[in-house]
Structure 1
Amino acid sequence: MTLNCASFFAGVGGIDLGFEKAGFKIVYANEIDSKAVETYELNFEDLKVDNRDIHEVVRDIEIGIDPFNGKKINVVLAGFPCQAFSIAGYQEGFEDKKGRGGLFFEIMKIVEFAKPEFIFLENVKNLMGHDKGKTYKIIKGALKAKDYFVDERIFNSMEYGNVPQNRERIYIVAFKNENSLRKFKWPDPIKLDKTLDKILDYSTKLDDVYYYTKERFKRFSEIEPYITKRDTVYQWRRVYVRENKSNVCPTLTANMGTGGHNVPLILTDHGIRKLTPRECFDLQGFPSDYKLPEKLANSYLYKQAGNSVSVSVIQRIAEAVFKVL
């Protein structure tokens, strides 16, 4: 049996890749960011991404146009924008001035049209506690109002995805069949054996653009005394350096490539440097053969990695879902 997935806010395909590896088939993907689409289509060669605002997709549905071209959609996937709920943002939630909080309700309009057997949502951990729990209560209530049976967990990638990154996210499952939810078993924690030294390259000399030196970085004297160990990842947070004492990488963020806040730094044989985009994708659990567009600026690739998901965590959840469906 083929289980077809439609993916929204698909980004570079992290959720889709996890579900594909678990046995699902991605038949539709929607993503508004054309640079992310470039990376997505490089890796999902048989799929043309619908590069439009989700509101346009919903408007099509409302006038009788089927975005899925008659294909039965068994699963809806959505890593809907998290900035509105993130502790790194302004936490405006559904009142977010850029309209990102309300995008969840566009997903629900698509759910009403597609009537999938299963919905999978991913977001920041803070979604659960945002506005004293009211935000998540509304989201869960909206799913239940469409007759879905819902459960959620907050997982850390270093505990559930075997990647050395401290990344906590909420994962939400919604089954149309109550018995399916009863049968569904969340993954158990697994041992972290993929340590930093298996992902990060401490010995090879890379392009100068990655290194922080006194010639290239005017505040070098503020970071050099604090970056002294090779088995950890530091964060330059504009005004101070923070060492991650868990021997894992701190949470990767979308703005880590801008040279300002939250830049992950390591000490190598050739000096202090920031992570490469490839290392950031590896820390998200993307496979080594996942392609990055050669002509895309590093700033876009850092943003894509930071905005993405931990593929290895998604895959484990998707495998548990596949067994049920």
Structure 2
Amino acid sequence: MLLTYKVGSMFAGIGGTCLGFKQAGADIVWANEMDKNACITYKENFGEDYLKEGNILEVNKTAIPKLDILIGGFPCQAFSIAGYRKGFEDERGNVFFQIIEVLKAQEKVHGQLPKAIMLENVKNLKSHDKGNTYKIIKEALEAFGYTVKSEILNSMEHGNVPQNRERIFIVGFQDAGQAERFEFPDKIPLTNHLNNIIDRNNKLEDKYYYTDASQYYPMLQEAMHSTETTYQLRRVYVRENRRNVAPTLTANMGTGGHNVPLILDYQNNIRKLTPEECLLLQGFPKDFTFPAKMANGPKYKQAGNSVTVPVIKRVATNIIKVLDKEKVMNNIDF
């Protein structure tokens, strides 16, 4: 890579999108997140230099440094199957327009817009409101001169991570030629299997296990036989993942109950995935850690709210390759 691109990250969460871009060689110079616990985890792993904690509605956007790339996984609940799918009627959907406000501020203060933009959301964003939601987003970005492409990528197909997680990625470039040269990453083989990540050998803390004291234990015991896959408890039945991967991890894992996927260990014990295993199933490295005294509820929520890091890295790498090539072709200094 010929230079380091300055990246700003909106709705940064615990930093999965930031980490993917850092791994691709970019430099994160500004990030924003409003969830208090997510900010604690972010600072634990990235330090405190550039994260601005607080509601994006209240952030001084004119103070954001000049950006080459703007990234963001804006809140998806308003567009997801799991939510009510109110879209822009939901305040979480309305925060998309804060991305537009950041672009306005970049143009006003720095005299130019970020050269590229990457947004991530649930795949149902594309079909929400018969396609009108995506159309509004695309047209809003095009009004700032971006040529926009989008594609749905699955973590187990594009990130070599054993989680069935489909997300839409929206990528835009100020230069139409760059947009034309940009390609989303191809599918790759899944060689990183569940049992590379999940510990089925060792006994963990009691809180992760179902015992015969649970009203669901007989149903779980009857349904769970494989030590190659994951299961989900659906109160009246148990769902086995036939693809031998984890289901889509969600923020609802942090609300307790039966939202955390289950596994059968090699001693026939039934337990929940740990928050740390959930991070690994999002492709975070083992040295990315939660703060020691943080409760499991926020940990699960943060893991489910995050992104799959290797997918982000592959998209980021392709964005940077396009920008680097443009510099070589035109012998310009960004």
Instruction: Please confirm whether the aligned pair reaches a TM-score higher than 0.5, indicating the same fold.
Output: yes
Q: Does 1:223 pair with 2:223?
A: no
Q: 1:255, 1:261 within 8 Å by CA — same for their partners in 2?
A: no
- Which residue of structure 2 aligns with residue 15 of structure 1? 17
- Which residue of structure 1 aligns with residue 101 of structure 2? 109
Other structure's SS at 1:100 match: helix
When the two structures are aligned, how many residues end up with a matched partner?
Answer: 314
* Structure 1 residue 259: Cα displacement: 3.4
* Structure 1 residue 163: Cα displacement: 0.4
Runs (5+) with no aligned partner, structure 2: 107-112, 324-334
Runs (5+) with no aligned partner, structure 1: none
- Give TM-score scaled by structure 1 length: 0.94
- Which residue of structure 2 aligns with residue 252 of structure 1? 249
What is the alpha-carbon distance in structure 2 between the residues aligned to residue 14 and residue 137 of structure 1? 27
* Structure 1 residue 261: Cα displacement: 4.2
Inter-CA distance 32–257: structure 2 relative to 1 (3 Å threshold): closer
Other structure's SS at 1:171 match: strand
What is the alpha-carbon distance in structure 1 between the residues aligned to residue 236 and residue 259 of structure 2? 10
What is the alpha-carbon distance in structure 2 between the residues aligned to residue 157 and residue 24 of structure 1? 22
* Structure 1 residue 46: Cα displacement: 5.3
Other structure's SS at 1:38 match: helix
Q: 1:158, 1:192 within 8 Å by CA — same for their partners in 2?
A: yes
Q: 2:8, 2:70 within 8 Å by CA — same for their partners in 1?
A: yes
What is the alpha-carbon distance in structure 1 between the residues aligned to residue 255 and residue 218 of structure 2? 20
What is the alpha-carbon distance in structure 2 between the residues aligned to residue 50 and residue 240 of structure 1? 44
Q: 1:202, 1:267 within 8 Å by CA — same for their partners in 2?
A: yes
Which of 263, 268, 293 lines up with 1:266 in the alignment? 263
Identity rate of aligned residues, in percent? 54
What is the alpha-carbon distance in structure 2 between the residues aligned to residue 188 and residue 153 of structure 1? 11
Other structure's SS at 1:255 match: helix
* Structure 1 residue 309: Cα displacement: 0.3
What is the alpha-carbon distance in structure 2 between the residues aligned to residue 34 and residue 259 of structure 1? 19
- Which residue of structure 2 aligns with residue 178 of structure 1? 176
What is the alpha-carbon distance in structure 1 between the residues aligned to residue 257 and residue 208 of structure 2? 14
Q: 1:235, 1:264 within 8 Å by CA — same for their partners in 2?
A: yes
Detail structure 1 runs of 4+ shifted over 2 Å in the superposition: 257-263
Q: 1:237, 1:263 within 8 Å by CA — same for their partners in 2?
A: no
Which of 39, 44, 51 lines up with 1:37 in the alignment? 39
- The amino acid that maps onto 2:9 is S
* Structure 1 residue 260: Cα displacement: 2.2
> What is the RMSD of the two structures over their aligned residues, measured on CA atoms?
1.1
Q: 2:29, 2:50 within 8 Å by CA — same for their partners in 1?
A: no
Q: How does 1:284-303 map to 2 (within 5 A)?
A: 284-303=282-301
What is the alpha-carbon distance in structure 1 between the residues aligned to residue 254 and residue 229 of structure 2? 19
- Give TM-score scaled by structure 2 length: 0.92
Superposed CA offset, 1:73-114 (max 9, x none): 111111000000000000100011xx1111001111101222
What is the alpha-carbon distance in structure 2 between the residues aligned to residue 239 and residue 130 of structure 1? 30
- Which residue of structure 1 aligns with residue 237 of structure 2? 240
Q: 1:81, 1:123 within 8 Å by CA — same for their partners in 2?
A: yes
Q: Give the structure with the larger helix fraction.
A: 2
Inter-CA distance 239–256: structure 2 relative to 1 (3 Å threshold): farther
Superposed CA offset, 1:50-81 (max 9, x none): 11111111xx34xxxx322xx32111111000
Inter-CA distance 257–102: structure 2 relative to 1 (3 Å threshold): closer
